[in-house]
Structure 1
Amino acid sequence: MDIIQVRRDFHRHPEVGFTEFRTAGKVVETLLALGYHVTYGKDAIDGSARRGVPSEKDLQRAFERAIENGADPDIIAPMEGGYTAVIGTLEGNAPGPVVALRFDMDALPITESAEADHVPFAKGFRSEFEGNMHACAHDGHTAIGLGVAKVMAHGNFAGTLKLIFQPAEEGVRGAYAVTEKGMLDDVDYLLCHHLGTNVPLGEIYGGAQGFLATTKMAVHFRGVSSHAGAAPELGKNALLGAATALLNIHAIPRFSSGDTRINVGVLEGGTAANIIPQHAKMIIETRSDSEEVNCDLEERVRKIIAHSAAMHELEYDIDIIGGAIPIKCDEEMVKTVLEAAAEVDGFSSLKGIQTGSRGSEDASYMIKRVQERGGKGTYMIIGTDIAAPHHHEKFDIQEDILPRGVQLLERAAMKLLK
């Protein structure tokens, strides 16, 4: 397996959350060929717990595109409708713990650069799915996962290896549904990772903390349209209700008990200047370094939405389209990762726990579920220089990190499988 070519294939065919049909299909094919027991489709993810699922039209279009681009129709058939999680399991040659490694697969809705200085363009592996792009290294994560699957296929260890290929990390949407399906309930040790994040090649953090709890909400206000000049009093202005909510949401006070963030990122509504808007939509996020404070923020937002709707005699509904909680890494796992990194050529700077992140990561649900059942977990940062910031049209990684990442995770897993 040429892991760099695997990564480039995924980079050419980026698929956003819950539409990773081709990607997941290739993962299933590879795992089966290596002798893994593979669980996927509705057996690997709780459909009702998915968040921010694309429309049926978008799902179907992506499904058909995957087949047009080489996905095996029989393999991906159980994924139809957005069931794109894949779990590969391999039993060792003796009893032992269950060790899981998590890899996210999804891309972003970004149009990739076609400028000559962008390496994927210059070397011919720029995105072929215009408007979608791997701008956060998940193509590298997935390739590393398959590389680990290959080097561990010997099964010469005590215990069980579980490789979790997760959809829809972007927008923190997919891990919760995999967790709710019970895919982590038997896991004793969980290793999660991310490439880059402003950590240079050769450097590694055995853990990362500081991720914020978050709730993403889509809110729909429904009113009554009317002629804005002839009969404005007969209308019920959905956009006005949403605007009322927006201003009051941003007026929520800061907390003494935790760091907080809040943002209304989308406000849409109305069709013409002379029509009272019948519908309005808002996309909102809350964040905090405390799960409890984030829940409090969410509840305050819900009350503001309800009262804003009532003021303008509107109906409304709220959909949770994403979420995450803080991560707490276990020191034992951090130590194991750094011991493994010390045995791999190319890691020259070994560090403990990074605490600077203020983003959110839905692997947090998986780590917490493992810890709640007496297991241990960590979220490591594996350094690689990047051509542009994450989520940028010129984002790219140094591919030297891919075989090195495989070696790191294989050695860390083997230290735990005993």
Structure 2
Amino acid sequence: MATRDHHNYTKKVPLFPLLSLLCFTSVFLILSLSRKTSSSTPSHSNHLTFASHQTRSPDPKSCDYSDGAWIYNPDPDPKPARYDATCKEIFKGWNCISNNKSNALELTKWRWKPRLCDLPPFDPVSFLHKFRDTNIGFVGDSLNRNMFVSLFCTLKRVSGEVKKWRPAGADRGFTFLHYNLTIAYHRTNLLARYGRWSANANGGVLESLGYREGFRVDIDVPEGTWAEAPAFHDILIFNTGHWWWAPSKFDPVKSPMIFFEKDQPVIPQIPPHVGLDMVLKHMVLFVEKQLRPGAIKFFRTQSPRHFEGGDWDQGGSCQRLQPLLAEQVEELFSLKNNGTNVEARLVNQHLYKALKGSGYHILDITHMSEFRADAHPSTSGGKKHDDCMHWCLPGITDTWNDLFIEHLNNIKFRD
């Protein structure tokens, strides 16, 4: 019927309006197809995309890089991978490709997309040129080592002339000789100095309170592994938190944290979360006094764990192969709902409070990482239990470094 009507009335329609209508219809169809093609993603990741009209250039003063979603890109990047499983610095338990984790190769196909800006992968060659004659120190627990190794492997792929050395008490470090750029990792679990404590046979104030053994934590003394780092490095990235919520390491009954200040026990003794506040207060002051002129200091927020069905020593596992949905994130991490992995957000509350007004730049990786239950070594880590704390390399800590260097460029070159 439509065809017959079209033929019957063709001669009655003026030529110019008809051509205009056809042109408009063609343009509309082309734009619609283009928009559909550019926004198409696999069905399992449609919920993780944003409309393109929300994107704009990064603005360090207004862009919230933590507010975003993971976008899946199945197409191979025409550029070479930033690094692969052959990077020898990757700790064996984190090398998910070599360990044949089923989704290891998929991990690099997810890209974090902030809602109101963009976070591009950093350019390692440009970074080496911009930051030649610079010392960069990662100070913290093994999650900061995770990040340090990611940065090293990325730089090593484009600059192979590297000297291994350990500056200023570092656990490990490297200098890229052509650029005189040094990156180092200083291992410290609590930031503060700590060690085994046992009761004195002659008694004392702690003994009178019933303490027999535990771990002495000197809240006002930095651990020796990093005490010289502020005077040596031009850029510092700190973290702490995982060991403060680790009853398997600091059993509150059998081996509690016992806090000291000015070489004397704190009386009455304080719980670990209060000890964390006091340590952060003292360490912020210590770094400020020791920091070399013009140095830039970051504090990385807490890296989330993804144990489900129990903690690491209670049968907990992380078997997911895709990022979590937003509602699943809240189930695991919400303080309001007492999620099973609230540790990350609890630690962050202490960090934000202690660092307010301190001059530290906050490297907020928590929320973007909460989605990535798929990116831990899990059973491929080679442990007796699932590793749902550390991250596969290559993997999500590459994105942490993208964020770190985006902030660093904003600080160094856009102020």
The TM-score normalised by the length of structure 1 is: 0.29
User: Which entry has the higher C-alpha Rg, 1 or 2?
Assistant: 2
The answer to which structure has the higher strand fraction is 1
The TM-score normalised by the length of structure 2 is: 0.29
